[in-house]
Structure 1
Amino acid sequence: MQQIGKTPLLTPAEEIELAALIKKGDPAARKRMIQSNLRLVVKIAHDYSHFGLPFQDLISEGNIGLMKAVERFDPEKGSKLSTYAAWWIKQAIKRALANQGKTIRLPVHLVEKISKIRKATAALYEKLGREPNNEEISKAVGMPVNKVAHLKAVSLRPASLDTPVGDTEKTNLGDLLGDESATTPLQDLQTKSRVNVIKQLMSKLNERDATILTMRFGLGGEDPKTLEEVGDFFGITRERVRQLQNAILKEIRDVVKEEDRQRTSDEVDEENLEREKMKILKDIAAKNHTEEKGKKSSKNSKKKK
């Protein structure tokens, strides 16, 4: 970090000269332009340091944005590199923060490995001048290729609570947390509380169980995996995956049921009343929708005649 401050800034003339060399594929020019603007990444990362992502991760993401800016920078368009690069750096950081905000919190040991992958990706991007593939990242971090691919997917895609769960797959994970379409304050509070329960449970699970839950239900946003796929990933049988999955789900259900039992009778009555109201509103909406479709169908029939 101290070395960054010692690197001199580029003059406008140097920016133009280096940009021309970079277009010709000069790696030394590319490296110099990147290093001369790393302090900009640090400055922008500080502005986003209170949003929950580790500072080093912010810098890693910002560096990738800077590298993309350097590759695309065209001084003939009239803008300074710092102005142009700032947009790319901010976009990269904002994307990382948005992805983090959309995912259910993962156990600390997984977060640390994801952070390691991010740092290695940024370092390889600078070294290779392109986005590194999973094999290259695997060698850099000392993890199996399939694990790198899985952790990248977990960290970059939004969580889904609509994934079918259980043996019959007639229930989804959202059913364990309550109706997310509820609009009353009471229901909102219950949903938030139950999501927190899931987060707490995930943070207490060992790496294998947390990954099984994540893979089976797409908690990291990737497509849910079958029992066979998860079994192949861990080298265990389909039946063993099912047993582990059901044990975890039972623990989640037990905690949710315990939370429900702690509600007062007034809260239960209020919830039941709100459910009845919602049912009536849904019935009215459905009726209006049916009537509207009937009117449109009638109009279309008249037009055809």
Structure 2
Amino acid sequence: MSAESQAPTTFSPISPVRTPVNARNRRDSADAFSDYLRRIGHGPLLSAADEVTVARRIEVGLFATGKLAHGVDDPELSRELAWLGHDGARAKNDFIEANLRLVVSIAKRYSGRGTLIMDLVQDGNIGLVHAVEKFDFTTGYKFSTYATWSIRQAIHRGVADKSRMIRIPVHTAEELNKIKRIRRDLATSLGREPTITDLVAATQLPPKEVSRLLDYDREPISLDMPIGDGVGDISELIQDGDLPEPEEYATLTLRRADITFQLRQLPPREQAILTARFGLDGGEPHTLEQVAALQGVTRERVRQIEKRALALLRVPRLEQYLYD
């Protein structure tokens, strides 16, 4: 089901807060999950015929909402289309609520993997909404058959996002999980940890691709990790040669603020030329010829404007700052 616009629904499957997993959060999640199960346990399930009826209402509502969005001159027709649009939104909400238990049954299969059960349910609900919006009742399939794949994909995506410090694309996570399963099977059958060559033979993937995927399986090391006797951390061993000393950085910051303030005293054209010439916007400094091309004037004209602009500023040290 699709349309250029659709009526709003009261269902909100997305939880705005994601909490780390610990003992207290697990207890809170279990309590919230129990409350959630009680809330959704009383809603009626839909038969195959009911699904077709509700899906038709949703489709009619989407069509009506789309017509209204393009403008309708007839007041009576406008009221009728508005009613159909609201009815479609109610039908969509009913369809979603009737299948919340399906999401729970699928989410339970993924519990115990470091993600709270309610987070799994919330992710699954996102997949459920997507399935309702895309369901084609004319195919004759039960909605649960179509929706299960969408719910699983949404849960997989959520688990992949929340289980890693660095997010990787879902399809990459799926390929990585496949290689990890093969690696475990090979370790069992070979009696040793499989090599890259073993994995290449088993997966039929290029060696570079196998290595690339396995690189994602390495957990990042925190720069706060203690070293030695615990009096220091890894960050102290890593130096950035491009990073200025604190005193130098403070001096550069003050210079930049000074230059920015002074430039604001100039007309826009002079500001633009000095900014381009000296890279004051964070970019590379431009030659006279490059600035001339940008401004649509001659090289000599740029030189004259630059000279006059520096003279107008009347700050003796500014020219020194710019040329440093």
TM-score if structure 1 supplies the norm length?
0.36
TM-score if structure 2 supplies the norm length?
0.34
Determine which structure has the larger helix proportion and give its number: 1
Structure ID, larger Rg:
2
